[in-house]
Structure 1
Amino acid sequence: MSTSHELSLAGRTALVVGGSTGIGRGIADAWAAAGADVTVLSRSTPAGPGHEALRWAPLDLSDTGAARTALADATTDALSLVCYSAVHYGDRRALFDEVTEPEWRRQLEVNLHGLWMTLHATLPVLRGGEEPGLFLGVSSEVVYNAGPGRSGYAATKAAGAALLDSVAQEEKGEKVRIVQVLPAGMVDTPGIRRRRPADFSYDSYMRPDHFGRVATELAATSGAGLHGDSLVVDEAGRWVSAHERTPVSQSRDVVA
């Protein structure tokens, strides 16, 4: 297996939806470091080390009309790599009766409808290249492990995974390959930090850059041999198919 620094994505054009922070940012940084021309669409501007290597345009998935325009503007004929990593977890884990309708609708808009819009905008272009295009979806263990306090997140992420699985069966991997990746454990991201106490230790958490190796190899090979698969990525950057090993649940009891 090649290491990510041995792989070149020079000449490739990539789009990462939800790539300013978190796993999406880890993937965007890795693709850019390997030579790809990477555009990030997100609500916030990418910051910190490596941001200068990324193009950026604003995207608010709750504004459907503006989101369609942003996606259309970012979908150039040269596009061959797309990652969808936009996610709305919710303000905190909460029992079903505590979740408001606006919160539920926000999860639908970002976790599911945004994915649908991105597929709709980019698949025609990904099909048009000399080599198969790659659509990389960022999934979650909650797809396999529904749990208390995460009903909306679990439902929308499971629906998103099923959407990608269904489209993968339609595409058959001939012109577009669809692969999903998900973390083996919790990941240290700004979204998670907003939900943790100030003195919380993240020593046992994964980092977004742990996804750089798998993302770069998938991009370099256009997902060859992995079309339709979901890969569980660990803290060493190694991966295994979720069909071979069910991801460990991150659920816990939630007190009303």
Structure 2
Amino acid sequence: MTTPQQSPADRRALVVGGSTGIGRAVAESWARTGFDVLVLSRGRPTGDGADLLRWSSLDLADSDGARDALDRATAGPLDAVCYSAVSYGSRRAPFGDVEEEEWRRQVEVNLHGLWRTLSATLPALRRAPAGLFLGISSEVVFNAGPGRSGYAATKAAGSALLDSIAQEEGTDGVRIVQALPAGMVDTPGIRRRRPADFDYDGYMSPRHFAALAHALVTEGATGHHGDSLVVDGDGRWRSVREALPVSQSRRVPA
């Protein structure tokens, strides 16, 4: 929450996995609110709004490089962090068709990358007047589903990690919030898994997360601490405690 002693322009935010997709929408929302936003990702942000963001390279598969990048990013004050890095896998496939290399990549990005980011940023967030850690979750945490065993397992573990830390922080510590889309989202990562003629008319847009990102750093996240918020296609949100998200799973041929 912004305090009289601290204007948005004095506040710093970090978005891991913020060059595209939901992370990019969060990063731009915070930047337009007045935050100094640093994006850590493999690729540099491009296109409209990229000029609002600072960027530094981060490859979560490079353990030593990732540690160094996060150490540099957390050298000064930090008020808000979003973890949006994700590895979906190459395609939906039965468990027996998934190579160990893909499983390890999902663990490295979806779970260990989150752990590494929390380890690096929580000390700085605890020193902020109202530090916020926003994790981008998925309906698969609540629904599992065929053909997504690695994605489901690692996202569920990451969600449990954040739930545990939220309980440790309590009501006076860092605000831990998770957000997830109500449906499929049109992102570059999803487009890489779809045929060239795929129709995305029924998909959400990353920009639907902008209003929530703005509200969490301007209105305060205390009321949402420890919760998972489902963002709808109109940009509104609700708690999973009200109703679980609808499964996006489908039958995958064996």
Alignment of 1:1-256 (within 5 A): 9-129=8-128, 131-256=129-254
Q: Which amino acid aligns with 2:55?
A: W
What is the alpha-carbon distance in structure 1 between the residues aligned to residue 58 and residue 76 of structure 2? 20
Residue identity over aligned pairs, in percent, reads 67
The count of aligned residue pairs is 248
**Residue 173 of structure 1: how far off its partner (Å):** 2.9
**Residue 33 of structure 1: how far off its partner (Å):** 1.1
| 1:5-28 per-position Cα deviation (integer Å, ceiling 9, x unaligned) | xxx833210000000011000100
When structure 1 is superposed on structure 2, of 71-80 and 12-21 the one drifting more is 71-80
What is the alpha-carbon distance in structure 1 between the residues aligned to residue 135 and residue 15 of structure 2? 10
What is the alpha-carbon distance in structure 2 between the residues aligned to residue 154 and residue 65 of structure 1? 27
What is the alpha-carbon distance in structure 1 between the residues aligned to residue 8 and residue 202 of structure 2? 31
**Residue 144 of structure 1: how far off its partner (Å):** 0.2
**Residue 180 of structure 1: how far off its partner (Å):** 0.3
What is the alpha-carbon distance in structure 2 between the residues aligned to residue 166 and residue 123 of structure 1? 14
| 1:110-147 per-position Cα deviation (integer Å, ceiling 9, x unaligned) | 00000000000000000012x12000000000000010
What is the alpha-carbon distance in structure 2 between the residues aligned to residue 150 and residue 39 of structure 1? 31
Q: Secondary structure at the match of 2:135?
A: strand
What is the alpha-carbon distance in structure 1 between the residues aligned to residue 75 and residue 232 of structure 2? 33
Q: Which residue of 2 aligns with 1:4?
A: none
TM-score, normalization by structure 1:
0.95
What is the alpha-carbon distance in structure 1 between the residues aligned to residue 83 and residue 192 of structure 2? 22
Compute the RMSD of aligned alpha carbons: 1.0
What is the alpha-carbon distance in structure 2 between the residues aligned to residue 78 and residue 127 of structure 1? 10
Q: In structure 1, list runs of 5 or more residues that go unmatched.
A: 1-7
Q: Secondary structure at the match of 1:173?
A: helix
Q: Which amino acid aligns with 1:163?
A: L
TM-score, normalization by structure 2:
0.96
What is the alpha-carbon distance in structure 2 between the residues aligned to residue 212 and residue 220 of structure 1? 12
| Preserved contact between residue 26 and residue 208 of structure 1 (Cα < 8 Å) | yes
